[in-house]
Amino acid sequence: MALLIQRNPTRAVKIGTCTIGAGHAITVQSMTATPTQDVAATVAQVNDLAEAGADLVRIAVDSRRDAAALAAIRASVRANLSVDLQENYRLAAVVAPYVDEVRYNPGHLYHHESEKPWQDKVRYLADVAAAHDCALRVGVNCGSVDPAQAVRFDRSDRLGPMLASALEHCELLDRLGFTRYCVSLKDSDPWQVVEVNRRFAAARPDVPLHLGVTEAGLPPEGVIKTRIAFEQLISRGIGDTIRVSLTVPNHRKREEIEAGRQILADIAAGRVRSVVDYGLHTLNIISCPSCSRVENEAFVELAEQVRDLTAYARDHKLTIAVMGCRVNGPGETDDADLGLWCGPHYVNLKRGAETLGAFGYDAILPRLKQELDRLIAERTAGAGG
pLDDT tens figures, 327-336:
667 766 777 8
Q: Is 15 helix (H, G, I), strand (E, B) or coil?
A: strand
Distance CA 296, CA 324 (A): 8
Closest CA to 91 of 69, 74, 72: 69
Higher pLDDT, 281 or 350: 350
Cβ–Cβ under 8 Å, residues 5 and 231:
no
Q: Which residue ranges make up each domain of the chain?
A: 13-268, 284-384
CATH architecture of 284-384: 2-Layer Sandwich (3.30)
The pLDDT of 8-17, averaged and rounded, is 97
pLDDT band of residue 147 (cuts 50, 70, 90) is confident
Q: What is the mean pLDDT of the chain?
A: 91
Comparing 28 with 293, which gets the higher pLDDT?
A: 28
Contact (CB, 8 A) for 186 and 215: no
Q: Read off the amino acid at residue 148.
A: A
The predicted-structure confidence for 181-222, as pLDDT tens digits, reads as follows 999 999 989 999 999 999 999 999 999 999 999 878 899 889
- Enumerate long-range contacts of 18-26, CB under 8 Å, 24 or more apart: 18/55, 18/56, 18/80, 20/182, 20/208, 20/210, 20/240, 20/241, 21/182, 21/208, 21/240, 24/240, 26/234, 26/239, 26/240, 26/241, 26/242, 26/264
Between CA 37 and CA 52 the distance in angstroms is 23
Q: For position 327, what pLDDT does the model report?
A: 67
Q: What is the pLDDT at residue 297?
A: 77
Which CATH architecture group holds 13-268? Alpha-Beta Barrel (3.20)
**What DSSP letter does each residue of 97-118 carry, written as one string?**
GG-SEEEE-GGGTTSSSTTS-H
DSSP-assigned letter for residue 216: B
Q: Say what the pLDDT of residue 86 is.
A: 80
User: pLDDT at position 143, please?
Assistant: 80
- 274 confidence band (pLDDT: 50, 70, 90): very low
Q: What is the pLDDT of residue 144?
A: 83
Per the CB < 8 A criterion, the answer to whether 320 and 283 are in contact is yes
Q: Do the domains at 13-268 and 284-384 have one common CATH topology?
A: no
Of the pLDDT bands very low, low, confident and very high (cuts 50, 70, 90), residue 130 is: very high
